[in-house]
Structure 1
């Protein structure tokens, strides 16, 4: 499998997968963040999270001062 294969198929995009190391669950949340030492304020990075790892990933980003917000992949606001 190449990098391009991971972007989607002819049938459509591949479902988002949780960003937590070792987790292969489908993601339901996008955690938006940036590192102010590296990124401009308007640049947002995104980690995807399943229900089980959402809080853990949010806490990880909050502890470092990187967390901005969480948005459900279907568009609902999370935090």
Structure 2
């Protein structure tokens, strides 16, 4: 039996690797304090995406990401 279900992929531009991390973030100028947006990251891009969000004080949390249907 083959698994043809789509995988959640990394949010980094041009990356097609499966996501392994969920980066929860919030832009306080746009979102209410309890709102969380999610970027997905592969292992390679976890650091750069986290640094991008942290430099803007947007990063709230990084957690392991479970693929849909896993």
Q: TM-score if structure 1 supplies the norm length?
A: 0.75
Which residue pairs with 1:21 in the alignment? 13
Q: Which has the higher contact order (CA 8 A, sep 6+)?
A: 2
CA distance in 2, matches of 1:12, 1:39: 36
Q: Tell me the C-alpha RMSD between the 2 structures.
A: 1.6
Structure 2's unaligned 5+ residue stretches are none
Alpha-carbon distance change, 53 to 40 in structure 1, aligned in 2, over 3 angstroms = same
**Dislocated runs of 4+, deviation >2 Å:** 11-14
Structure 1's unaligned 5+ residue stretches are 1-10, 75-79
Q: 1:62 aligned to 2:54?
A: yes
CA distance in 2, matches of 1:13, 1:42: 31
Q: TM-score if structure 2 supplies the norm length?
A: 0.85
